[in-house]
């Protein structure tokens, strides 16, 4: 295979779109409602061709990702990461702390016990990976809006930057961070997360593609948007910097 001249851009927008195509998505010719998974897939397909600004107004707090029944849960949930499963970080739940930084009133780190002491929410939702697979799982943990309130995060003209123990990082717009279905998941299928699935805490954000669902998170940082259009500056992320669409959501 020919080596890409500019490694940062070696996943082109066209490849991104054909990646979406490999999910078996169809092009929506009409405007759609938002509830069924197939319609949501149409939206994802359309969204992948729009710029982040155009996608911004697509989003609203009332728009919910589909939820599923226990019987829909995938029997074998795939592991995914930018390296093989054998190398996932093994973090000690006792020693782990979630660092808090940036535009917050209360930057004290949070322990796992702190997070377990907060309001918990469960969801059965679908994780959709851009590489062409999806699976339904059950996660529970702290709604991110509860945590953001707890730390006194500045919510205007800011975005959330997330760092992980494996060097992975991503960032999301504040509206999506505050979405009611966005959680800091601690459990998967009713058990504490296993290392491969992000122990001890991961982002579970069903209104975004899989790569936004950061695992083994170590730091949440609230950062100022550098322009009124958040997408001008908020492309930061391991995959985002290789060309994946920053918004990547519905």
Ligand X SMILES: Nc1nc2c(c(=O)[nH]1)N[C@H]1C(S)=C(S)[C@@H](COP(=O)(O)O)O[C@H]1N2
Nearer to Mo ion, 96 or 211 (CB): 211
Task: For residue 137, list its beta bridge partners.
Answer: 125
Alpha helices in the chain (DSSP H): 13-21, 37-47, 52-56, 112-116, 144-150, 174-177
Question: What minimum distance in Å lies between the beta carbon of 7 and ligand X?
Answer: 17
CA distance 41 to 39: 5
* Residue 87: contacted member of Mo ion, ligand X, none (CB under 5 to 8 Å, by partner type): none
* Residue 166: contacted member of Mo ion, ligand X, none (CB under 5 to 8 Å, by partner type): ligand X
Rule CB under 5 A: choose which of 16, 169, 188, 211 binds Mo ion: 211
Nearer to ligand X, 114 or 219 (CB): 219
Measured in whole angstroms, the distance separating CA 140 from the mean position of its chain's CA atoms is 15
* Residue 215: contacted member of ligand X, Mo ion, none (CB under 5 to 8 Å, by partner type): ligand X
- Structure-block tokens of residue 4: 């890409």
* Residue 216: contacted member of Mo ion, ligand X, none (CB under 5 to 8 Å, by partner type): ligand X
CA distance 43 to 131: 17
Span 82-141, contacts to Mo ion by CB under 5 A: 129
Residue 40 near residue 234, CB atoms below 8 Å:
no
Nearer to ligand X, 96 or 168 (CB): 168
Instruction: List residues near Mo ion by CB under 5 A.
Output: 129, 210-211
């Amino acid at each position: 295979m020919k080596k890409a001249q500019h490694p940062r851009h070696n996943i082109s927008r066209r490849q991104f779109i054909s990646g979406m195509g490999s999910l078996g998505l169809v092009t929506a010719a009409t405007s759609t409602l938002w509830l069924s998974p197939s319609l949501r897939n149409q939206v994802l397909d359309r969204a992948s061709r729009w710029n982040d600004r155009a996608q911004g107004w697509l989003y609203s707090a009332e728009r919910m990702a589909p939820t599923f029944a226990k019987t829909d849960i995938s029997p074998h949930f795939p592991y995914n990461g930018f390296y093989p499963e054998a190398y996932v970080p093994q973090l000690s739940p006792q020693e782990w702390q979630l660092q808090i930084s940036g535009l917050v009133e209360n930057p004290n780190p949070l322990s796992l016990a702190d997070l377990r002491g907060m309001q918990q929410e469960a969801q059965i939702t679908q994780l959709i990976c851009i590489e062409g697979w999806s699976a339904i799982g059950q996660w529970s943990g702290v709604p991110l809006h509860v945590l953001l309130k707890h730390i006194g995060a500045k919510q205007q003209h800011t975005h959330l930057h997330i760092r992980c123990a494996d060097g992975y990082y991503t960032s999301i717009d504040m509206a999506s961070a505050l979405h009611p279905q966005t959680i800091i998941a601690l459990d998967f299928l009713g058990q504490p997360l296993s290392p491969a699935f992000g122990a001890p805490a991961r982002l579970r954000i069903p209104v975004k593609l899989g790569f936004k669902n950061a695992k083994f998170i170590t730091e949440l940082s609230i950062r100022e948007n550098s322009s009124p259009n958040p997408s001008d500056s908020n492309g930061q992320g391991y995959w985002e910097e290789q060309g994946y669409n920053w918004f990547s959501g519905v």
